[in-house]
Amino acid sequence: MSKKALIFGITGQDGSYLAEFLIKKKYQVHGVKRRTSTPNTSRIDHIFDSVNFKNKYLVLHHGDLSDVGSLNRIINDVNPDEIYNLAAQSHVKISFQIPEYTSDVNALGTLRLLEIIRHYKKKKIKFYQASSSEMFGKSKPPQNEKTLFQPRSVYAISKVFAYHSVIHYRDAYGLYACNGILFNHESPRRGVNFVTKKIVQGLVRIKQGKQKMLILGNLYSRRDWGHANDYVESMWKILQQKKANDFVIATKTSNSVKDFINICAKKLNIKLIWKNKGLKEIAINKLTNKTIIKVDQKYFRETEVDNLIGDFSKARRLLKWKPKFSFDKLIDDMINNELND
């Protein structure tokens, strides 16, 4: 009998890669999608298409982390061996605008799942929680599993709540529940309002004459950027350990948003000349003499996380995990995909 995995957030970036990964491992994969007014399955449609909608390895269910009845029904119907909770309002800046909703889904949504698993009688379900490097917030890099959480947004606060709930349910009720504390990971499937995808898409379109300007926020924050395809493997590895445990997953390198822009521009043969400082900072395309990058206050956050570098030595030692994609290869993958779109 193949194992059954249930993925909350299967329509997202990570959910789609994880579904592919688990299907290759011969899991029967079940995924939860939200009701939306237009289809939200573009990242997983190819999994169905490949077998004419008759994929016996992938089943979708309608549900929502804010609706406990749907969670109860789906878990009881599926009777999974492993649950991966990747569902979230995952945009940090948007959490400043919808803090209550963000907390309901990310914090209480996780608690709802843990409560169901705690009372579940049919089997001991393993639980993976998508925790985040945003939880470290103001703490200086490199950050590891022992670093203090100093969250800088309601998104991060909601993830800290979920993180501690996982540990509490493990300690209090013996659940096999784990946190993967993942640093930023990107891919061609990254949502268009995250900075890497916005930059790659914007610069490719500018190069193709389809867009005039790219408008961004803080160019000087630094992130540890890896590839989502590498990171979903770590999620599975985390749930295969003898004892439930928590792991930092990262690359241990950090680059600024401006570094990311400069590397992309170079790869696309766009020569940039940077001018001015602060909100007046711009980049001019040397070839056309036109301003193609500007900054705007509206993309800045009220409080920022300045610098993240993940020390993933625990994952390297116990999970035998390390990233395969370098920063450079990640950008190549994103640019090539955008050019072929």
**Phi, psi torsion values for 295, nearest 5 degrees:** -115, 150
In order of 118, 275, 331, 336, 339, the CA distances from 285 in angstroms are 58, 11, 20, 21, 19
Shortest Cβ distance from residue 13 to ligand NAP (Å)? Answer: 4
Our measurement of the distance from residue 337's CA atom to the centroid of its chain's CA atoms, rounded to an integer in Å, reads: 19
Contact 114, 169 (CB under 8 A): yes
Of 198, 205, 237, 316, the one binding ligand F7E (CB under 6 A) is 198
Does 220 qualify as catalytic in the annotation? no
Residue 195 lies near ligand F7E (rule: CB under 6 A): yes
Query: Residues 132, 133, 158, 254: which is the catalytic one?
Result: 132
Number of residues that bind ligand F7E (CB under 6 A): 21
With CB under 5 to 8 Å by kind, the binding choice for 246 among ligand F7E, ligand NAP, none is none
Sole binder of ligand F7E in the list 217, 237, 259, 262 (CB under 6 A): 217
Rounded Cα distance between 175 and 82, Å, is: 12
Handedness of CA 196, 198, 201, 207 (dihedral sign): negative
Spatial CA neighbour of 93 closest among 152, 22, 41: 152
Q: Which CB, 176 or 312, lies closer to ligand F7E?
A: 312
Chain-centre distance of CA 24, in angstroms?
21
Angle made by CA atoms 177, 105, 257, in degrees to the nearest 5: 90
Q: Least distance from C-beta 92 to ligand F7E, angstroms?
A: 4
Strand-pairing partners, residue 186, are 227
In the bound complex, what is the minimum distance in angstroms from residue 208's beta carbon to ligand NAP?
25
Q: Which is nearer to ligand F7E, 28 or 179 (CB)?
A: 179
Is the separation of the CB atoms in 233 and 330 below 8 Å? Answer: no
Copy the structure tokens of residue 214: 């790219």
The contact mask relative to ligand F7E for 292-311 (x = CB under 6 A, - = no) is -------x-x--x-------
Radius of gyration of the chain (CA): 20
- 234 or 270: CB nearest ligand NAP: 234
- Least distance between ligand NAP and beta carbon 87 (Å): 3
Q: Give me the catalytic one of 20, 90, 103, 134.
A: 134
**Interacting partner of 216 out of ligand F7E, ligand NAP, none (Cβ under 5 to 8 A depending on kind):** ligand F7E
In the list ligand NAP, ligand F7E, none, the entry touching 257 (Cβ below 5 to 8 angstroms by class) is: ligand F7E
Integer Cα distance of 171 and 150 in angstroms: 23
**Whole-number minimum distance, CB 59 to ligand F7E, in Å?**
26
Please confirm, yes or no, whether 134 is among the known catalytic residues. yes
CA 309 to CA 98: how far, in whole Å? 28
Mark 147-186 with x for binding to ligand F7E (rule: CB under 6 A) and - for no binding: ------------------------------------xx--
Is residue 218 part of the contact set for ligand F7E (CB under 6 A)?
A: yes
Strands 282-285 and 272-275: antiparallel
**CB of residue 34 vs ligand NAP: minimum separation in angstroms?**
4
Least distance from C-beta 235 to ligand F7E, angstroms?
14
User: What three-state secondary structure class fits 255?
Assistant: strand
Token pair, residue 179, equals: 């946190």
Size (the chain), residues: 341
Binding pattern to ligand F7E, positions 73-112, x when CB under 6 A? -----------------x-xx-------------------
Q: Phi then psi for 162, rounded to 5 degrees?
A: -65, -40
Give the residue numbers marked as catalytic.
132, 134, 155
Applying CB under 6 A, the residues found at the interface with ligand F7E are 90, 92-93, 132-134, 183-184, 193-195, 198, 216-218, 221, 223, 257, 299, 301, 304
